[in-house]
Amino acid sequence: MTSSIRDIAYKLRQGQLIALADETGWSVAADPVNDAAVAQLLTLTAVMPAELQPTVLIKNADQLTLYVVKMPDVAYDLVDFAENPLTVVYDQGKNLSTVFLQPVATSDGGSMVDGVAVRRVLNVDIQQLIGSFGRGLLAVPFEALALPPVAEALVVDRFGVLPGMPKRSRIMRLQANGEVSFIRK
């Protein structure tokens, strides 16, 4: 039996991990503000492909302001007009679990939160799930047609439909001053 969006959203709110299938393949997702769920999710980073990082999945560009402290206006256009999967790493994140947002010391003796990766999902079902959940999802992406066994052991349910061939997400860094650099084209 396939779980409904409502059932999946409930499980996420309870701190459970969900396997999501979208245009990039499998990811494992959690409620981004639930410390216990995020801590459990971050154990999967050891088996995540090297160039990838935990990513906040959002429904639309309007949700960017929920998770990014400062960004140039072009950030909205990048997210809105991306026709293929695009992960953008911003300088400073916010409104995420303190387990995930660890402060990093700066050269002037202060501290800031290291970058946060954000990707707008293109899959309509996952967009509806995020809309029903009421906020983005923190996910560990695998960009594969199968989950690693350690991930399989942690998830309580699956949601979404895998594409015939997953698309690798382009990954870029967008700094608050508008400077762009590609991590993976």
Number of helical H runs and strand E runs in the chain: 6, 11
Task: Give me the tens of pLDDT residue by residue for the chain, a chain 185 residues long.
Answer: 578 999 999 999 999 999 999 999 999 999 999 999 999 999 999 999 988 999 999 999 999 999 998 888 888 888 888 889 999 999 888 899 988 876 544 444 443 446 899 999 999 999 999 999 999 999 999 999 999 999 999 999 999 999 888 899 999 999 888 888 888 88
Half-sphere exposure of residue 111: CA atoms within 13 angstroms, side-chain side: 6
Burial class of residue 142 in the structure, from the number of CB atoms within 10 Å of its CB (0-12 exposed, 13-18 middle, 19+ buried): buried
* Per-residue tokens: 59: 């429904």
Predicted TM-score of the model (pTM) = 0.91
CA-based nearest residue to 143, from 9, 39, 20, 31: 20
- The radius of gyration of the chain's CA atoms, rounded to the nearest angstrom, is 16
173: enclosing H helix or E strand:
strand 170-174
Residue 162's domain comprises 5-184
Specify the number of domains making up the chain.
Answer: 1
* Per-residue tokens: 176: 């608050």
CATH number of the domain at 71, please. Answer: 3.90.870.10
